[in-house]
Amino acid sequence: MNSRPELKLDWATHEAAKYAVENWHYSKTLPVGKLVKIGVWEGKRFIGVVIFAWGMNRNLGSPYGLTVGGACELVRVALTSHRVKVSRIISIALRFLKKQSPGLRIVVSFADPAANHHGGIYQAGNWIYSGKSSASFEWQVDGMRLNKRAYTGHNFGSPKLKVPVNAVKKQTPGKHRYLMPLDDEMRKQIEPLRKPYPKRVRSVDSDTTGSQPVEGGATPTRTL
């Protein structure tokens, strides 16, 4: 008997994505700009979203000879408690993305060591690990991390916010960078960049969210 819950992915509304990120992702913030928001259900239960973004880093595709339209970033995997493996959810979301954007050739994602993430969900999906990005900084207020892009003017054209007077500037380590090619030619091109995966420090699903309540939200489930 197959006890695997029925998995459904479909386009998510802004409201559903915002709910999932604010409740089930450690950042508590929904990025602005051009987003592809894919909702996830187990049976009839809404369990979260997978979100891709364009243009947040206009040089994202440059190392691979691509312009903005050829590369995007996986910016949020916000899930409540669930039974299906995160790597399977992401794999299906990538198929949605590729069908919607046939010119897209690579997806880039980052795992933040400062949040105790090492990229286990990407390792389980055979993403190519290409090393760490450069060390940087962030602002914190009362221990809460602020969205750096919003205060540096790199938030997809949104107005630059003024840094709060009580914000503390903290140095941060580079983030683990993972690559997913969407065609055979791109895979051949970037495969030489592959480095050994960082060692797993927690479970594969530990990178999905900083908080996972037992029950998912039942109301923000309307799809587009």
Query: Cα–Cα distance between 168 and 144 in angstroms, integer?
Result: 10
pLDDT band for position 57 (cuts 50, 70, 90): confident
Residues 140-149 pLDDT 10s: 666 666 655 5
Residues 88-114 pLDDT 10s: 999 999 999 999 999 999 999 999 887
- Mean pLDDT over 56-64 rounds to 87
CATH homologous superfamily of domain 7-135+173-207? Gcn5-related N-acetyltransferase (GNAT) (3.40.630.30)
Query: Cα–Cα distance between 42 and 48 in angstroms, integer?
Result: 10
Task: Give the pLDDT score at 150.
Answer: 57
- Mean pLDDT over 61-73 rounds to 92
- Beta carbons within 8 Å of 43's beta carbon, 6+ residues apart: 5, 6
Beta bridge partners of 144: 141
Strands in the chain per DSSP E:
7-11, 34-42, 45-54, 71-79, 106-111, 128-132, 136-141, 144-145, 168-172, 176-181
Q: Where are the domains of the chain?
A: 7-135+173-207
Which ranges in 101-140 belong to alpha helices (H)?
120-124
